[in-house]
């Protein structure tokens, strides 16, 4: 019954979605407002409809309805409640449904705003939003239906949604359960964030397309979608960072970042999305390069769909990919259609979006931002090429080849260096024109401070040149931002008689967006610090220890105390080592590297014990142990300097985006200022 409700609601939402597209098209071509309003209602309706569908699937998962094929494959009796719910996105068809549901959420939310001034955009936003949703609902309804059940027909077991002739429902007594690697708190938050980030980019894309179609070349679409874009970017960033954190916390995903093709397919829209955010800034401040944001948002949207395709077509060998599926070709057709249509539209409106302004100085803010966009796009081209090169090469030469992490690392390191360099200059540069002399005046003090970033590591015994350069750049960016902040506050205090704190607050308030950008960039630099730490300075050792024996790495000593082996209520067998972390003979901490063996799927999962500080992480993996006597156990130990800054950077970025999107107090004033005619 519940499965029927779920599927019924899914089917109805598909119909409503198709209706919305047609009504919007009809309404706009015949100038009949009631059809457009009707389409708007349709767009509002899909979210509640799909909520019923998602609710039904969650109900089936929670109640162990294993006659539903999807439930039997991703859930089992012994799984805790929260994991049963997360199993909604633990497999192909369920995660596609989850995706459609989030997409419907965003499209519905867009309809809520008042459209008075933007009536002309509305029908096309509906067409793009519901058009995309229709595609995913078609996949869910006809190809990846999560409500398919097992039926017994004579002696055969048949998988079908509707009842075959003479068939009756049967189901296994227990499901095979979620893949143990997915049974982790990370499962609760990483996939939803990643998906939110992906689907939220539909909003700016829809606005951009609507603007293109009606030929409106002002900044309106950018103003309307600015907050959406920032949140989309934040969610996507968090999805990536949480994925990295999960991979760091559980062995088996291959370290914090492995240049796995699926990781890359999530990174690609992030790169183009980041470039988009910056291109938007140039258009808003200078009215220049108006085609760039449109190109970049088209790329981002298509890369999101392309990433979904890569993950779901079974094209890749990756820890993330789903089983091989038939939906690959349909995806390719959809990507090709939207890509060609978007760029055809853009080319037909190209002249309308031309701007009169030209670049005047290499050190103007717009030029620097432009360079960083080019660098981001270079990184994007590299990652894209790395993912598709094996397929192209196989087509042409017949030889199967792959490119591994060294390829990406070699290209990424100099590009990251270039971006950091721009981050040094950019806060000091001004729009339109700036001379090198002017920059030099502002740069010399932070430069001297940044030399600490060279001297201190070298005094500390550091000899690797790239690492020294990296530390120096990090110190330089931080110094520039610090000096700039103090300088602006002082300027303010010269003219207003305020206390220092008050001045800080006022300056902040007056220039909220620029300070938010500063905060986000400092977050990025913190993350770079973490990456530098683990990439350049990771050391490792290993050893088999009897109880009470010790092993040394870096300045730490670990002592193996004992091994505890026990069963848990959720059908795991846990082998847990108790390890003391010591420094200079003093016990700092007790950590518990362990291995969980899942009975229902017959598979172990290794979880390291970590002692984490701002300076370094001491990371211990329980590799193996002597089962009978439990006398000796083998450990692999890593020393990961500075890696905690990777996660701290993420928090800083969240804070920055919250500041940037915080509603304006004097919003009416801001709007009237921005809406001035160009």
Partner 1 sequence: MVEDDLQPIEAEPRKGNSLKFVIGGIVIIAAIIYLMVSSLQANVQYFLTVDEVLEKQNSGELTGRNIRLSGAVLGESIQYDMDTLELRFTIVHVPADIKLVEDEGGLAAALHNAVMDPTRSQLEVVYYGAKPDLLQNEAQAILTGELIANGVFEADELLLKCPTKYEGSVPDQIES
| Interacting residues with partner 1 between 55 and 74 (CB under 8 A) | 69, 73-74
Phi/psi of residue 609, nearest 5 degrees: -100, 130
Residue 33 binds to partner 1 (criterion: CB under 8 A):
no
Q: Is 542 in the site for partner 1 (CB under 8 A)?
A: yes
**Using rule CB under 8 A, residue 8 touches partner 1:** no
Contact 549, 644 (CB under 8 A): no
Residue with tokens 């705003």: 113
Q: SS3 for 630? A: coil
Token pair for residue 175?
Answer: 């499901």
The alpha-carbon radius of gyration of the chain (Å, integer) is: 28
Interacting positions 556-585 with partner 1 (CB under 8 A): none
Assess 435 for contact with partner 1 (CB under 8 A).
no
Size of residue set near partner 1 by CB under 8 A: 87
CA distance 110 to 101: 14
Binders of partner 1 among residues 301 to 360 (CB under 8 A) are: 317, 319, 322-326, 356-360
If the CB atoms of residues 52 and 371 are measured against partner 1, the closer one turns out to be 371
- 463 three-class SS: coil
Looking at beta carbons only, is 55 or 632 nearer to partner 1? 632
Among 350, 362, 505, 662, binds partner 1 (CB under 8 A): 362
Q: Is residue 600 at the binding interface for partner 1, with CB under 8 A as the rule?
A: no
Residue with tokens 């960083």: 372
Classify 314 as helix, strand or coil.
coil
Minimum distance of partner 1 from residue 258's CB (angstroms): 9
Q: Which stretch binds partner 1 (CB under 8 A): 32-40, 294-302, 404-412, 525-533?
A: 404-412
Min dist. Cβ of residue 90 to partner 1 (A): 8
Distance from chain centroid for Cα 303? 13
State which residue, 87 or 650, has the beta carbon closest to partner 1. 87
Q: Nearest distance from residue 433's CB to partner 1, in Å?
A: 7
Does the footprint of partner 1 cover residue 390 (CB under 8 A)? Answer: yes
Q: Which of 634, 608, 638, 642 is nearest to 252 (CA)?
A: 608
- Rule CB under 8 A: is residue 465 a binding residue for partner 1? no
CB of residue 384 to partner 1, shortest distance in Å? 10
Give yes or no for residue 367 binding partner 1 (CB under 8 A): yes
Smallest gap, in angstroms, from Cβ of residue 71 to partner 1? Answer: 12
Strand ranges for 130-222 from DSSP E: 149-153, 156-160, 167-169
Determine if 494 is a binding residue for partner 1 (CB under 8 A): no
Q: 31, 114, 173, 400: which one contacts partner 1 (CB under 8 A)?
A: 400
CB burial class (10 A; 0-12, 13-18, 19+) of residue 326? exposed
Pair 454, 472: CB distance under 8 Å = yes
Minimum separation from the CB atom of position 324 to partner 1 (A): 7
Residue 159 binds partner 1 (CB under 8 A): yes
Asked if residues 422 and 371 have their Cβ atoms less than 8 Å apart, the reply is yes
Q: Which residues contact 605 (CB under 8 A, 6 or more apart)?
A: 180, 181, 183, 250, 251, 252, 595, 596, 598
Q: Is 407 among the residues that bind partner 1 (CB under 8 A)?
A: yes
By CB under 8 A, tell whether 152 contacts partner 1. Answer: no
**DSSP per residue over 586-629, as a string?**
EEEEEE--EEEEETTTTEEEEE-EEEE-SSEEEEEEEEEE-TTT
Residue with tokens 């015994």: 461
- Which residue, 55 or 254, is less far from partner 1 as judged by CB? 254
Nearest to partner 1 of 91, 523 (CB atom): 91
Residues 88-107 that bind partner 1 (CB under 8 A): 91-92
Which residues neighbour 346 within 8 Å (Cβ) at sequence distance 6 or greater?
212, 291, 294, 295, 298, 353
From candidates 11, 161, 447, 599, binder to partner 1 by CB under 8 A:
161
Residue 321 three-state SS: coil
- 42 or 480, CB closer to partner 1? 480
Give per-residue burial for 560-575: e unless 16+ CB within 10 Å, then b: beebeeeeeebbbeeb
Cβ distance to partner 1 smaller for residue 349 or 365:
365
Q: Which is nearer to partner 1, 152 or 544 (CB)?
A: 544
Identify which of residues 158 and 468 has a Cβ nearer to partner 1 in the complex: 158
| Residue 97 near residue 199 (C-beta atoms within 8 A) | no
Residue the block writes with tokens 């530390």? 471
Q: Indicate whether 404 belongs to the interface with partner 1 (CB under 8 A).
A: yes
Site for partner 1 in 617-676 (CB under 8 A): 621, 623-626, 632, 634, 636
Positive or negative, the Cα torsion across 22, 28, 31, 32? positive
Considering the rule CB under 8 A, would residue 402 count as an interface residue with partner 1?
yes
Task: Tell whether residue 285 is a contact of partner 1 (CB under 8 A).
Answer: yes
Check binding of 469 to partner 1 (CB under 8 A). Answer: no
Question: Are residues 252 and 320 in contact, defined by beta-carbon separation less than 8 angstroms?
Answer: no
Q: How far apart are CA 432 and CA 422, in angstroms?
A: 16
Q: Toward partner 1, which CB reaches closer, 25 or 88? A: 88
What is the dihedral sign for C-alpha 353, 357, 362, 368? negative
Instruction: Please identify which residue in 431, 537, 599, 655 interacts with partner 1, judged by CB under 8 A.
Output: 431
463 vs 602 by CB, closer to partner 1: 602
- Nearer residue to partner 1 within complex by CB, 41 or 174: 174
Q: Which of residues 368-387 bind partner 1 (CB under 8 A)?
A: 371, 374-375, 378, 381-382, 385-386
Answer yes or no whether residue 164 interacts with partner 1 by CB under 8 A: yes
Residues between 215 and 254 with contacts to partner 1, criterion CB under 8 A = 251-252, 254
SS (H, E, C) 482-507: HHHHHHHHHHHHHHCCCCHHHHHHHH
Q: How far is the CB of 59 from partner 1 (least distance, A)?
A: 20
| Tokens, residue 107 | 């499209």
Return the residue of 286, 493, 582, 611 that touches partner 1, per CB under 8 A: 286
Give least dist CB 530 to partner 1, A: 23
Q: Quote the least distance from Cβ 552 to partner 1, whole Å.
A: 17
Three-state secondary structure call for residue 206: helix
Q: How many residues does the chain have?
A: 678
- Least separation in angstroms between residue 139's CB and partner 1 is 12
Residue 60 CB-half CA count within 13 A: 32
Least distance (Å) from partner 1 to the CB of residue 160? 5
Q: Is 538 in the site for partner 1 (CB under 8 A)?
A: no
| Interface residue with partner 1, options 19, 59, 343, 389 (CB under 8 A) | 389
Scan residues 252-281 and list those touching partner 1 (CB under 8 A). 252, 254
């Amino acid at each position: 019954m519940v499965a029927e409700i779920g599927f019924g609601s899914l089917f109805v939402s598909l119909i409503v979605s198709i209706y919305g597209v047609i009504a919007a098209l009809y309404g706009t071509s015949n100038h009949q407002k009631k059809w457009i309003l009707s389409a708007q209602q349709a767009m509002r309706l899909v979210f509640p409809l799909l909520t019923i569908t998602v609710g039904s699937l969650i109900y089936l998962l929670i109640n162990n309805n294993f006659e539903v094929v999807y439930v039997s494959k991703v859930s089992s009796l012994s799984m805790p409640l929260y994991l049963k719910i997360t199993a909604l996105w633990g497999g192909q068809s369920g995660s596609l449904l989850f995706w459609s549901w989030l997409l419907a959420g965003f499209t519905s939310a867009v309809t809520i705003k008042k459209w008075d001034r933007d009536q002309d955009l509305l029908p096309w936003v509906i067409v793009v939003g519901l058009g995309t949703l229709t595609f995913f609902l078609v996949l869910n309804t006809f190809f990846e239906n999560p409500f398919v059940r097992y039926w017994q027909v004579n002696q055969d077991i048949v998988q079908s949604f509707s009842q075959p002739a003479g068939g009756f429902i049967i189901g296994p007594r227990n499901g095979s359960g979620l893949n143990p690697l997915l049974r982790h708190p990370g499962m609760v938050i990483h996939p939803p964030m990643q998906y939110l980030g992906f689907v939220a980019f539909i909003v700016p894309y829809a606005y951009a397309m609507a603007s293109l179609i009606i030929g409106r070349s002002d900044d309106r679409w950018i103003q309307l979608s600015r907050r959406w874009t920032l949140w989309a970017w934040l969610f996507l960033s968090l999805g990536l960072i949480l994925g990295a954190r999960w991979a760091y916390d559980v062995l088996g995903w291959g370290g914090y970042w492995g240049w796995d093709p699926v990781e890359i397919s999530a990174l690609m829209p992030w790169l183009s999305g980041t470039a988009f955010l910056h291109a938007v800034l140039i258009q808003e401040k200078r009215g220049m390069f108006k085609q760039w944001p449109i190109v970049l948002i088209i790329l981002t949207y298509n890369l999101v769909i392309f990433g979904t395709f890569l993950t779901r077509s079974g094209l890749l060998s990756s820890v993330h990919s789903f089983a091989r599926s038939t939906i690959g070709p349909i995806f390719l057709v959809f990507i090709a259609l939207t890509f060609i249509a978007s760029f055809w539209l853009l080319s037909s409106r190209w002249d309308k979006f031309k701007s009169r302004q030209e670049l005047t100085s290499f050190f103007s803010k717009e030029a620097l931002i432009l360079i960083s966009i080019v660098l981001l796009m270079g990184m994007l081209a590299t990652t894209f090429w790395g993912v598709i090169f094996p397929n192209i090469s196989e087509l042409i030469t017949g030889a199967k080849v792959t490119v591994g992490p060294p390829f990406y690392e070699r290209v990424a390191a100099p590009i990251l260096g270039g971006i950091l360099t721009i981050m040094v200059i950019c806060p000091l540069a001004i729009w339109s024109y700036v001379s090198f002399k002017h920059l030099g005046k502002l740069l010399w003090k932070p430069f001297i401070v940044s030399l600490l970033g060279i001297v201190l590591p070298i005094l500390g015994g550091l000899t690797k040149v790239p690492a020294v350069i990296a530390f120096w750049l990090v110190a330089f960016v931080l110094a520039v931002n610090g000096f700039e902040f103090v300088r602006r506050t002082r300027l303010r205090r010269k003219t207003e008689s305020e206390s220092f704190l008050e001045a800080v607050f006022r300056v902040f308030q007056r220039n909220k967006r620029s300070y938010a950008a500063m905060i986000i960039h400092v977050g990025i630099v913190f993350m770079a610090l973490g990456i530098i730490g683990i990439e350049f300075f990771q050391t490792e050792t290993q050893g088999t220890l009897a109880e009470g024996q010790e092993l040394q790495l870096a300045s730490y000593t670990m002592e193996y105390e004992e091994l505890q082996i026990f069963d848990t209520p959720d059908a795991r067998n846990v082998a847990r080592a108790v390890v003391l972390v010591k420094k200079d003979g003093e016990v700092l901490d007790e950590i518990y590297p362990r291995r969980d063996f899942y009975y229902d799927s017959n598979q172990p999962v290794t979880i390291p014990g970590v002692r984490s500080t701002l300076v370094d992480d001491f990371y211990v993996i329980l590799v193996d142990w002597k089962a009978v006597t439990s006398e000796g156990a083998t450990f692999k130990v890593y020393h990961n300097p500075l890696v905690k800054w990777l996660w701290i950077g993420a928090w800083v970025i969240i804070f920055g985006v919250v500041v940037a999107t915080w509603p304006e107090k004097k919003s009416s004033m801001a709007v009237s200022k921005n809406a001035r005619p160009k």
